[in-house]
Structure 1
Amino acid sequence: MSLHMIRGEARYHEIAVVLAEKISSGTYAVGEKLHARSNLATTFGVSAETARKAVQVLVELKILEVRHGSGCYVLSKEKAAAFAAQYQDVRSEKKMREELLQILEKQQQDAVRAKAILYDLEASAKKAENILLFTPFTLLIDTTCPHLNESIGALNLWHHTGATVVAIVRGSTTLLSPGPHAILKAGDTIYFVGDAKARQRMEAFLRP
C-alpha cells in the first residue's frame, strides 16, 4: 500500500490503521483470529463493505491473512507497526500543510489589512497637509534680516520660499493681505501660509 493510496484517509483506511495499531500494541496477537467482518462493521459503525475493504488493505500488506473456511488471522506485528507509523507520518505531513496554508492565508489577510491602514495613513497625512496649507506660520523680522525695507514684490518671496504672506503685524497695526508693495521692517511679525517646509525656507531667506 503506497502513501498515495492512504492520503485520502478514506474511512476504511482509518479502520485499517486502528486495527494495525491494535496489532502493533499487542491487543491482537500474531496468530489470533480477528473478529468477523460483520462484527467489525458494528464496532466501527460502518457498512460490511467498508469493513471488508479495511481487512483487504491489511491482507494486501501481509498484516492479516485469510484462511479460507476459517477466517482472518493476524500475520505480522512488525508490518502492522510500520503501516501505522507510515500513516501517522502522512497525517503529520497533512497537518503541517494545513498549518502552512493557514499561516499563508493569515499573511494574506494581514497584507490586505496593512494596505488598508497604509491607505488611511496616507489619506490622514494628505488631510493634515491640506490643513497645514491654511494654518499660518509666524516669523519675527529682526535687525539681522538682510532684506529690511524691501518690498514683498521686490523680494519675490513666493518664488524663493513657496510661502504666501497673509498678514503683517507692526506694533498695534495689522495689515491683512499685504500687497507686493508692503515693506518689511524690523520688529514686524509676518504671518504666512505654505507647505510643511515653507517655514524653514522663510527662516533661511529672512534669517540667514
Structure 2
Amino acid sequence: MDIEPKTRTVIPRYQQIAIEVAARIANGEYAEGEKIYARSSLASQYGVSPETARRSICILSDLGIVSSEKGSGIIIRSQKKAADYIQQNSKLETIDTIKENLLKSVSRQKKEMDYLNECMNDLIEASVHFRSMNPFMPFEIRITKDCAYLNKTVTEIQFWQHTGATVIAVSRKDLVMKSPGPYVALTEGDTIYFIAQDDTADRVKGFLYPNR
C-alpha cells in the first residue's frame, strides 16, 4: 500500500484570527482591561465576514482571554491565558510538522526501495541472460582453512555427486591446473573453478563450508 504524505491541515480563518489577536495580547500590545474594536471593526480589519469575526471572538471569550458584550466591544481579560493559547497552538504545529516530515521520509524511502528492487531485477535478468549466452562460464571458490574437506581429493568427498558441479581447473600459487582430474586434493589457498548444472554456486559453497 502506498503511503503518501498528506497535506497539512489548514487552520480555519476564524481560528487564525483568534491566534493573531491572542498573540498581540500576549505580546503586550493590548493591556488587560483595555477595550478594543467591536466585532464589525474586527471583520473589517481582517477582511472577513461578521460571522467569521464572531467565531474568532467566541474562541477567545470561551478561553477567558477576552470578554465580549453587546454594545461594549471586546475587552482584554487575561494576558497569561492568551500566552497559554499561543503556546498550545505552537505545540500542535510542531507535532503536525513532525508528522508531515515523517510521512515524507517514509515516502522517500519507499521510492528508494522501489528503485532498488527495479535495479535488482534488472541485474538478475541481465545475469541470467549473460549466463544463457555463456553457458560454460565457470564459477570460482577459494579454499580456506575453514573448508570441511581440506586436503581431501575430489573423489574422496564425492564432489560431483553432492553438488552436481564439475571441477575444470585449480589455481594453486602460480600454477593453474586445467582439467585436474578426480584425484586433485583441496589445499588451503587453492582457487577452484567449476561449472554447475543449475548455474549457481550456492550448492558448492554449502557443501564445502556447511557451518557458514
TM-score range, shorter chain: 0.5 to 0.7
Instruction: Work out which of the residue numbers 17, 20, 27 in structure 1 matches 2:22.
Output: 20
8 Å CA contact 1:162–1:194 kept in 2: the answer is yes
Paired with 2:82 and 2:11, the residues of 1 have a C-alpha distance of 17
Give 1:102-117 correspondences, 5 Å limit: 102-117=104-119
Instruction: Work out which of the residue numbers 33, 36, 42 in structure 1 matches 2:35.
Output: 33
Q: Identify the residue that residue 42 of structure 1 maps to in structure 2.
A: 44
Q: Once the 2 structures are TM-superposed, how far is the Cα of residue 18 of structure 1 from its aligned partner?
A: 0.7
Instruction: Work out which of the residue numbers 82, 85, 88 in structure 1 matches 2:87.
Output: 85
8 Å CA contact 1:132–1:194 kept in 2: the answer is no
Q: Residue 39 of structure 1 aligns to a residue in which SS?
A: helix
Q: Residue 161 of structure 1 aligns to a residue in which SS?
A: strand
Q: Identify the residue that residue 53 of structure 2 maps to in structure 1.
A: 51
Q: Identify the residue that residue 146 of structure 1 maps to in structure 2.
A: none
Paired with 1:77 and 1:65, the residues of 2 have a C-alpha distance of 13
Q: Identify the residue that residue 166 of structure 2 maps to in structure 1.
A: 161
8 Å CA contact 2:66–2:74 kept in 1: the answer is yes
Paired with 1:48 and 1:67, the residues of 2 have a C-alpha distance of 15
Paired with 1:127 and 1:42, the residues of 2 have a C-alpha distance of 73
Instruction: Work out which of the residue numbers 124, 127, 130 in structure 1 matches 2:126.
Output: 124
When the two chains are superposed, the root-mean-square deviation of aligned CA atoms in Å is 3.0
8 Å CA contact 2:26–2:79 kept in 1: the answer is yes
Q: Residue 66 of structure 1 aligns to a residue in which SS?
A: strand
8 Å CA contact 2:25–2:31 kept in 1: the answer is yes
8 Å CA contact 2:131–2:137 kept in 1: the answer is no
Give 1:167-182 correspondences, 5 Å limit: none
Q: Once the 2 structures are TM-superposed, how far is the Cα of residue 68 of structure 1 from its aligned partner?
A: 3.9
Q: TM-score, normalising length from structure 2?
A: 0.60
CA gap 1:161/1:84 in 2 versus in 1, 3 angstroms: same
Question: Structure 2: which amino acid aligns with 1:161?
Answer: T
8 Å CA contact 1:24–1:77 kept in 2: the answer is yes
Question: Structure 2: which amino acid aligns with 1:53?
Answer: R
Name stretches of at least 5 consecutive residues in structure 1 with no aligned partner. 1-6, 137-158, 164-192, 202-208
Structure 1 runs (4+) greater than 3 angstroms displaced = 193-198
Greater Rg over alpha carbons, structure: 1
Paired with 1:160 and 1:50, the residues of 2 have a C-alpha distance of 82
Paired with 2:10 and 2:200, the residues of 1 have a C-alpha distance of 65
Q: Identify the residue that residue 63 of structure 1 maps to in structure 2.
A: 65
**Aligned pairs, number:** 144
Paired with 2:131 and 2:67, the residues of 1 have a C-alpha distance of 82
